[in-house]
Structure 1
Amino acid sequence: MCGRFAITLPTDAMAQLFAARPANDLPEVPNYNVCPTNRIHVVKSDGADRQLVAMRWGFLPHWYKTPSDGPLLINARAETIAQKPAFRKACRERRCIIPVTGFYEWTKDAEGTRFPWYIQGAETLAMAGVWRRWDRGEDAVEACAIVTTGANRAMSAIHHRMPVILPADDWALWLGEAGHGAATLMKAAPDEALTFHRVDRKVNSNRASGPELIEPIEAD
């Protein structure tokens, strides 16, 4: 799964990387502790025009009467996304990319103590996502979820799930700009695509902030 991440790339650089037109209300960067329900950077496309926009991290199905009406849907499983009522239409029609610098995952010891790890690639990671516009009268929110899949061999040492990470050559296909076949992209990244290291347990708090959150520490 993916329940917390960092984004440090400046907005202008993000827009240039994805060849996307930036909106005017994007979240501030850097943010070393992006949490569920935060507004995050998302790349979407109508087939001709890519946009870098802000969305709520936490998908809102059409039957939710309020944003807190049901479970917090921050991830969508690749194996079932096409069948789940919450995600199946978005999977066909509203796929997006969620840029991150790296993401966090946790392991536990025998006493249940949670130890955070920071996972990153050589460059900005493009996570596969799905989104929809949730509208209730005057309340309208664009909300998204990160698509996850079974972990590759390297990541399985930390967690059994991982985000679907898209190489640049696959961005157009995932965004619906290059025809059909996006389902083939929902797979684990190669083992060598990611590295990870232990970080301080202060990131266990969703109020923690600052670049020290991603600094490596010696594992206990």
Structure 2
Amino acid sequence: MEPTDRTRIRRGRHRAVADRSDLLALLDDALVAHLGVVVGDHPVVLPTAFAVDADGPDEGGTLYVHGSVAARWLHESAGATVCVTVTELDGLVAGRSTFHHSMNYRSAVVIGRARVVEEPAERQHALDLIVDHMIPGRAATLRPSTRKELAATAVLAVPLTEASMKARAGGPVDEPADVAAGVWGGHVPVRRVIDAPVPANDNPAGLDVPPDVRSRAS
């Protein structure tokens, strides 16, 4: 990934990740993005489901988010420059001083001009990608969206042209004197756990968990 002036990492440059495949792997692994946009006279940062099409219509690929057509933040995002961040926490780093406590993480920042997806086929494709990002293969098992549902849902596309990634792994980096003092140092790995599916109360009796959901929980 070639950084631009807006995505060039200036602090902690040794943690910069330049390989685009690592960025795509993070975006594939993470489930929640945060979209930052100026709404009126103040910035707003909102969590959102998302999905990525690495071969999408925008230069560098396309990141999609969706929301209600009535949401003010979505209207303000259309045609505006937005910032989308994605973070996965991988560990808590226990240093031998307050200064050297840290976290292990993978994080990405995407900056770009958002566009409202108007073309029906691309919009349906984006919505299917968002569903499948949560539960792979799920979209193909669902009924088509109704015209009313589509009319109530807007999709934003953000190009992946300007993106940066940072990552940290491993234990603390402490001062030699602190190590010699005999204080314990190390890190506590953190991982996401997906439990067994819980059926809805109104499922028909005897209805099995479908393979796509079962696979997601395995």
Q: When the two structures are superposed, what TM-score results if normalisation uses the length of structure 1?
A: 0.26
Q: When the two structures are superposed, what TM-score results if normalisation uses the length of structure 2?
A: 0.26
Higher RCO (CA < 8 A, seq sep 6+): 2
Counting helix residues as a fraction of each chain, which structure ranks higher? 2
Counting strand residues as a fraction of each chain, which structure ranks higher? 1
Task: Please tell me whether Structure 1 or Structure 2 has the larger radius of gyration of its CA atoms.
Answer: 2
